[in-house]
Amino acid sequence: MASNRQEADAREAFDPIPTFRSAPAVVVVDAAPSDVGAIGVPVGRDGAVPASTGLDRAALARHGFTGDLGETLVVPTAGPPTLVLVGLGDDLSSAHTDSIRTATAAFASAVDRIGSLAFHLPSASSANTAAAVEGIVLVRYRYNVLRSKAESVPVESVALIVDGDRAGAEAGARRGASLARATMIARDLANTPHNFLTATRLAELATKVGPACDVGVEVFDTAALESMSIGGLLAVNQGSVEPPRMIKLSYRPASPTGRLALVGKGVMYDSGGLGIKPNDRVHAQMKNDMSGAAAVLASMLVLSELECRTSVTGYLMCTDNMPSGSALALGDVITIRGGTTVEVTDTDAEGRLVMSDALVLAREDGHDAVVDIATLTGAALRALGPDIAAIFGNDRALTARVQAASAQTGELVWELPLHAPYFAQLKSDTADMINVGYGHAGAITAALFLAEFTRGIPWVHIDMCGPAQVETPGSWLPAGCSGFGARLLAELATAFATS
């Protein structure tokens, strides 16, 4: 009994978002600080080698260093700082943000036991300094909260050594730090085991941190959800001993440029319900099925820092999906807010049920547009692999905005069609719809299901099943939950404006 009590006390005291409180210090300088532990120097495939390295092309060739993007060479020195040459590819003067992000991540990985880092940035645009901070900070992220001893050294400080426009570089560095922090918050939440992070606990955390970030928080419990006819969320929750929560977030700047709604799937753990998942590694990863809600919350916590002028409302639809004697059964018919009836033919297609209620609310609340994000279908993973999220939209301008945010953040998306004839797979003999298609193209039929609840409001659906989890680390992505979408949504919101 004592051990159970201690575990319960630990859960009560546990704060799974330490990175919210401890972002590394970032400065823009014209020379490396004297106490820096390592300095990264970018080198291209061609051209002169910076004199500060004390090396020439012949010396680099002897060490097998070519300057390819992401290649590193740690140069032995008598003492600190450690010198690291970092390949930047073809053109140092016009490096793309993706290249900067990859190169700085390679540098930070090469000196992963050093906390204070400096990097020479050859092209110090605001976008490039933001990308440099993101690469350094995000690659060194580790979820160490539940370890008795941390197995990594966090980044404590970042100094970007630049020439030219210091004001623009500093603005970019601040932006990069905010966006990196958003991703780390999303990673922390998604990596937190289900027994430490329930729907109730997430609501408590949002209530705790939201006001300090100029984000209002409203929490709707079971009784409130019943009074609002939030049928999808309540139905999925039937099998769980943990109560559901809808968490409504509100960011309201003065004189907003538009009204954007964000909807996040917050299935805190997805067993599949009565259609239980197979006992494999995917089952163990289902703590990450709330990654959409994590991305929405994390993105909104940095909007004030980013001086976002868009009014943003977030809907986090949070519950477990569990098997029990009271669980939703195959063949049951449920009613989504607004009156649409759905025959449930797959209890493991629960994400679309919990988000449907929120899409109706977003439409009723009069937003200019709505974007939802979810780890929704294995079909999206099978179609696009682990690096790319599928997107679907009913509005070309909004879809283009999501794609532009993707290009800026390096969080990749690819548009798939809302092919209307496939909606025939969702016909029911008993209700208005069934919740899952019976044929191929599962990502498309899932999107078509959600589209039924948007009723003409500009809408984009992001199916992040693939990139939500990193199995093979690469570039700025360590293994584990990726935090995908947090930076993308923050970029989208700050750039959003109604025509």
Quick check: bond before 81 cis, omega within 30?
Answer: yes
3-state DSSP assignment of residue 277: coil
Supply angle C-alpha 264, 395, 492, rounded to 5.
50
- Contact indicator for 26, 160 with CB cutoff of 8 Å: yes
Helices within 280-350 (DSSP H only)? 281-284, 291-301
363 is annotated as an active-site residue: no
One DSSP character per residue, 360-406 reads: HHHHHTT-SEEEEEE---HHHHHHH-SS-EEEEES-HHHHHHHHHHH
427 is annotated as an active-site residue: no
The packing angle between helices 97-110 and 126-139, to 10°, is 30
Structure tokens at 86: 């970092």
Give 370's strand partners.
261, 459
58: Cβ–Cβ under 8 A, 6 or more apart, which residues? none
Asked whether the CA dihedral 195, 201, 206, 212 is positive or negative, the reply is negative
Which residue among the candidates 45, 57, 277, 309 is catalytic per the annotation? 277
- Contact indicator for 250, 210 with CB cutoff of 8 Å: no
Which residue among the candidates 352, 363, 401, 487 is catalytic per the annotation? 352
Category of 120 on φ-ψ map: left (φ > 0), alpha (ψ -120 to 50) or beta: beta
Give the residue numbers annotated as catalytic, written as ranges.
Answer: 277, 352
